[in-house]
Amino acid sequence: MKKIVLFISILSISFAKAQIDPVKYPTFTSIDEALKSPKPVYSMSFREKGLFNLPPRISELKSLFFLNIMGNKLEKMDQEIFALTDLEILNVNENSIKYIPDDIGKLTKLNTFSMNLNGLTSINPNVSKLQNLKAVHFDANNLNVFPKALMEIPALEEINLQGNQISSIADRLYRIKNLKFLNLSENQINDLGNLSFPKNLKYLELQQNAIIKLPENLFRMQNLEFLNVSNNHLEEISPEIKKLKNIVSMNLANNNLKDLPEEIGQLKKLKTLILTGNPIEKTKIERLKNLMPETQIYF
């Protein structure tokens, strides 16, 4: 699992770097060189330097908007970080940090915050002060509940919580009004109750949990395009599935489904349906093929 998350984290930081013009905003890897620069320093990387602490003088680089301290040996977030109030992208992946300090609330310009592969057991409530956050990555930590602080940031568009130990989610998820991508795969969710999801959600990943039933509110997401609930314990799908009018791809593989409702044939935009690993009889497979001639179905 951690190898998968590591791959995702590398992709995330690569995407972040792609937003930075290397000529206009060169990335420094030496604190001495950065401090000698006659021009403002905007981007700094200490990736995989074996650091236990950040260089204290980093706090002098007041113009930094990108900081990568991925792959070190940090056990805490050094106070110097919180003096960098212009930070927009912060990558602290692959360290040994167990908590986020209260001072995180000072980084009000942050729009991307990555702390994959650390030892977090909870998310500091002060994270809710980061009202400009667009994307958070807390994959492969030790979280056991969905962080309530994130529910107070309506600007969030992407939340990654893959590979934690989350078993419960408070029914305030709908408050993240701009959320488009939510990854809760590889957790310990078995009951979603009747959880209400944000209306703008397009990508929902719930694979590799222990979910027995999908909540009715899930089928009210008019903008949902990609749904992955593979490797759960689903035994049936509600006829309300017909309401997912914009769904393009649906992965239901490796559940306990013996059939799907006829209403699934009303999903005219559905291009891909994955049903491998379910105990569906051949006669019912043929019926599904006839119901959805334009859909690529995998059995």
Q: What is the pLDDT of residues 144-175, one digit of tens each?
A: 999 999 999 999 999 999 999 999 999 999 99
SS3 category, 67: strand
Sole residue written with tokens 């998820």: 173
Residue 265 to residue 259: CA distance in whole angstroms:
13
Sole residue written with tokens 């059995």: 299
Q: Which of 162, 106, 158, 157 has the alpha carbon at shortest distance from 138?
A: 162
Counting residues of the chain whose pLDDT is more than 70, the rounded percentage is 93
User: pLDDT confidence of 25, banded at 50, 70, 90?
Assistant: confident
DSSP assigned state of 117: S
User: pLDDT confidence of 64, banded at 50, 70, 90?
Assistant: very high
Residue 221 to residue 247: CA distance in whole angstroms:
9
Q: Looking at residue 24, what is its pLDDT?
A: 79
219-224: long-range pairs with CB below 8 Å, 24+: 219/243, 219/244, 221/197, 222/246, 223/199
Indicate the average pLDDT of the chain.
Answer: 93
DSSP assigned state of 270: -
pTM for the predicted model, two decimal places: 0.92
Report how far apart, in Å, the C-alpha atoms of 218 and of each of 15, 52, 192, 240, 241 are.
30, 44, 10, 9, 9
- Amino acid identity of residue 243, one-letter, is K
Domain annotation for the chain: domains and CATH numbers: 1-142 (3.80.10.10), 189-299 (3.80.10.10)
- Amino acid identity of residue 3, one-letter, is K
Residue 34 to residue 66: CA distance in whole angstroms:
13
Q: How many residues does the chain have?
A: 299
Task: Flag whether pLDDT at 50 surpasses 60.
Answer: yes
Dump pLDDT digits (tens) for 88-145: 999 999 999 999 999 999 999 999 999 999 999 999 999 999 999 999 999 999 999 9
